[in-house]
Structure formats: structure tokens, C-alpha cells
Amino acid sequence: VHCQMKPPTNPAVVASHLTLLGLWLVSQYVYLPYPIHLLTLVTAILYVASHQSLFLCPEVHDKLLKQQEEEDADNSTHSSMSVEPRETMRKEDAYQFPLVGSCALFGLYMAFKYLDKDLVNLLIGIYFSVAGVVAMTMTFSTYVEGIIPNKFNQERRLGWQWIQPHSLPEWLAGPSPCDLSVQVTPAQFISFIKAVVVLVLYHTSQKAWYLNNIMGISFCLQGIRNFSVGSYQIAAILLIGLFFYDIFWVFGTEVMVKVATNLDGPIKLLLPRDSLEKDPETGRLNLSLLGLGDIVIPGFFLSLMLRWDFYQWSQNVQQQQQQQSSESDKNKNYYNPIHVEHVSFPKPYFHC
């Protein structure tokens, strides 16, 4: 049964989206006090990403999969969605995260110490360029889909079908035949073009801070939106591990500082510190930075609390429906999973 209700609009979510766009535009021309700029920007990122992460709720994800299967079964129409897989951290992953992070950090430290700095940044830059285009495409498509008519967006898909058999080991290339088919909507294609344009401008403008922030914000939004720590127990293990990780690498060695100061990539948000005027001595703008990890890690916890609020509300509504005398009331869809970001429900844990 497809939801036919009018798409809802959550004023707070809409305001957060507008805040992100407004801050990015205004801060290029008007100096915003650093503390206010930072707090407002991070709050908007966390609010938007946490609400977008509601599709990670098992109930919502199952409804989306069911709706997609029903639409795929109808050969006369295209599916109106592409349900992304749920990425959930396991307890083993939480234990290993600080160790894997330590190996990666120390590897970068050794690379900067014994290899050419420009070569290391070039290789890392290639990686972040690809990842940045993917993250920005996913972020931009949210806004472009709100502009392009849904019917046009679904009926004018682009791509190709390509099923390629192979004789390579399954552990290397996956099962044979390999599905290399690609299908994108006009909104996704337009978003991809915009992402490539931003990337080109970023590299041709000496990596301007405001273009760096587009990629940084996109990384934060997509990281929080698509990844779940699974449970409070796993989150606690992760947080404790990262606590000792930070103590050792930041305060016990020079490794973190050296990597952060040498690594030239969109791994942080950059904000004007005191004015938009360049320093006459250095010819550079005085910028303050905030690492993306300082946004994404708390975002995992906030989004988990929001999904818990949603789960409690959902269970209460289902119990009330079961008490209804009418069979139609029992089977009534009380929210549209496609627009779950805008569903209104009590959020005591999230707002605390």
C-alpha cells in the first residue's frame, strides 16, 4: 500500500537547511563573529543530518524496501527511490576503530616525515577529490530533487545496462556475472555536474575556505546520515576508545599536530577568525579550523537519540492503532517513509 498523504514539512528542518545555505553565502561577504558562526553552523549540520538519518531505523528502512519492491514489480513505472544499505557498526568495529585510526594516523605521519610532502598531498588529494564528488552529489541531490518535478525526475533516467561475466576469484571481483549497470535520475546527474564544478573551482582557487566548507559539510551530512553506531553500548565503547586515542596522539606525541598541519585537504571546516581582510604580513586570511571528526562523532550519538525517540513514538502509535475498532484504522499509514525526515514526533532525548 503506497502512502498517498501530502508530503509533510518540518519547519525546524527546513530552517536548518536554509541556515546552512545562508551562512555559507553571507560569510563570504560579511564577517560573522567566530563563536556565533561556528555554533550556528555545527548546530544546523547536526540537526539536518540527524533527521536525514531516520531512514536508518529498521522499521523505516523495511518500509522503503517494501515500497521499492512494489514499484519495481510494476514494469510500467520506474521506482521512485533508491534505498541505500544500512551501515551499522558492530562491537568488534568499535574495539578496532582506535587501533585502525592509530595505524592510519601514524602511517600519514611517517609519510610526511620521510616522503615528499607535495607528493603525499597529491595522492591524498586525489582520494578526497573522488570522495568529495560523491558526497557533494548526494548532498546536492536532496535540494535538486525538491526543484525538479518528481514525475520528470523518475521518467527521464540516464544510464546503461551492463552485465559482464568474469573468471576472477570471487574474493577479488565478487560473484560472476558482475553487474556494472548504472542508472541515475536527472537530479543526480545535475548534482554530479555541480559537484565537479565545485571541485574544479576548489583546486583552481588555491583551495578557498568557502569551497573547502562545501565538501566538509557534505562529508559531515553523509557520514551521519548513512552510518549508525548501532546501540548505546557500542557508542560507549567507541567513545572510550577515542578518548584514549586523543590523549595519546594529541597530548602525548607530536603525531596528530604534524599530520593536521601538513595535510592539505577538506578534512576540516575553516572559518574567518577576526575579519575578512587578509593579514598584510602573510597575505593570508586568518582562519580557525574545526576537524570534521569533532562534528561527526557527536553526530552519531545525537542521531542515535533521535532514532530512539522515533522508535518510541512509532511503537506508541502502533499500539494505539491496534486498539482501533476499524480495520482500516489499524492498517493506516501514519507516516510516509520517503519523507520521514519531516515527520513530527516528540523528541525528548534528542533535545536534551
One DSSP character per residue, 178-240 reads: EE--EEE-HHHHHHHHHHHHHHHHHHHTTS-HHHHHHHHHHHHHHHHHHEE--SHHHHHHHHH
Q: Which residue has the cell 512494489?
A: 70
* Confidence (pLDDT) at 295: 94
Q: CA Rg, the chain, in Å?
A: 23
Tell me if 195 sits within 8 A of 205, measured CB to CB.
no
Residue 270 has pLDDT above 80, yes or no: yes
Write the CA distances from 342 to 10, 16, 35, 80, 165, integer angstroms: 5, 12, 29, 18, 43
Residue 27 has pLDDT above 90, yes or no: yes
Query: Helices (DSSP H) in the chain: which residue ranges?
Result: 11-26, 34-52, 58-73, 91-114, 117-144, 150-155, 170-173, 186-204, 209-226, 232-246, 255-262, 293-322, 327-330, 348-351
Catalytic residue among 118, 294, 309, 329: 294
What's the rounded Cα separation, in Å, for the pair 164 and 180?
A: 7
Active site includes 329? no
Residue 80: Cβ-neighbour burial (10 angstroms; 0-12, 13-18, 19+):
middle
Catalytic residue among 246, 264, 279, 309: 246
* Confidence (pLDDT) at 88: 85
Three-class SS state of 318: helix
* Confidence (pLDDT) at 319: 83
Backbone torsion region of residue 159, taken as left when φ is above 0, otherwise alpha when ψ lies between -120 and 50, otherwise beta: left
Q: Kindly state the percentage of the chain with pLDDT values over 70.
A: 88
Q: Strand pairing of 163-164 and 178-179?
A: antiparallel
* Of 80-94, 133-147, 157-171, 178-192, highest mean pLDDT: 133-147
Residue 182 has pLDDT above 90, yes or no: no
What φ, ψ does residue 268 adopt, rounded to 5°? Answer: -155, 160
Window from 117-131, 143-157, 255-269, 299-313 with minimum mean pLDDT:
143-157
Window from 72-86, 127-141, 208-222, 323-337 with minimum mean pLDDT:
72-86
What's the rounded Cα separation, in Å, for the pair 20 and 14?
A: 10
Give the bridge partners for 287, in sequence order.
272
Active site includes 62? no
Going by pLDDT thresholds of 50, 70 and 90, the confidence category of residue 2 is: very low
Write the CA distances from 215 to 57, 83, 211, 345, 349, integer angstroms: 26, 23, 7, 31, 30
* Of 45-49, 149-153, 280-284, 333-337, highest mean pLDDT: 45-49
Q: Mean pLDDT throughout 51-68?
A: 79
C-alpha cell at 26: 553571507
What's the rounded Cα separation, in Å, for the pair 262 and 116?
A: 11
